[in-house]
Amino acid sequence: MPKPNLKIIAWALIAAFTLLPLVASAQGVDRSLRIVVNKENKVATLSADDLTRIFLGKKTLWDSGTRIVPVMPEEESPAGETFLSGTLSKSVSQFRTYWKRLLFSGGGTVPKVLRTSGQILDFVARQPGAIGVVEASAVDDRVKVLEITN
């Protein structure tokens, strides 16, 4: 039986651990955040594209016909900035400008902004169509965590 080439194995491991964070971030949501919905929502997975469309006001209804109510942390909070830059690919000023233009043209409803993950969890737990962005460490059993896919 031939001996395994340790150099090849070492390079493969280095490549795998180097690329792992890139694969994780390609899912659209930073690992420090979770996307949550009301427990009654039938959705279990959501594409990163649909998530972006929801928070940019382009997707407004769940498949069930229920109105989607997006809620997020304050834009300038660490969680808010992480979500905007990592998921929506927008800075705080780009996000605000986007919504000002959309509202000026008569379209869309700006995502609700709350101060803490606890407030977001409370809101999502009470609102059937809600979808929220929270810090991973704050998630509890009042809500359902969505799997975000490419």
Q: What is the pLDDT along the chain (150 residues), one digit of tens a residue?
A: 666 665 655 444 444 444 333 333 334 699 999 999 999 999 999 999 999 999 999 999 999 999 999 999 999 999 999 999 999 999 999 999 999 999 998 888 899 999 999 999 999 999 999 999 999 999 999 999 999 998
The predicted structure's pLDDT at residue 19: 39
Distance CA 10, CA 12 (A): 5
Other beta carbons less than 10 A from residue 57's beta carbon: 18
47, 48, 53, 55 alpha-carbon torsion, rounded to 10°:
120
Q: Is residue 57 part of a domain?
A: yes
Taken as a whole, the chain contains a residue count of 150
CATH number assigned to the domain comprising residue 34: 3.40.190.10
What tokens appear for 121 in the block?
Answer: 């969890």
Q: Does 23 reside within a domain?
A: no
What does the pLDDT read at residue 7? 61
Determine the structural domain holding residue 58 and report its residue range.
28-149
Instruction: Count up the domains in the chain and report the number.
Output: 1
Q: Is residue 20 part of a domain?
A: no
The pLDDT of residue 54: 97
Provide the pLDDT for residue 106.
86
Q: Give dist(CA 74, CA 62) in Å, integer.
A: 24
Give the model's pLDDT for residue 1: 60
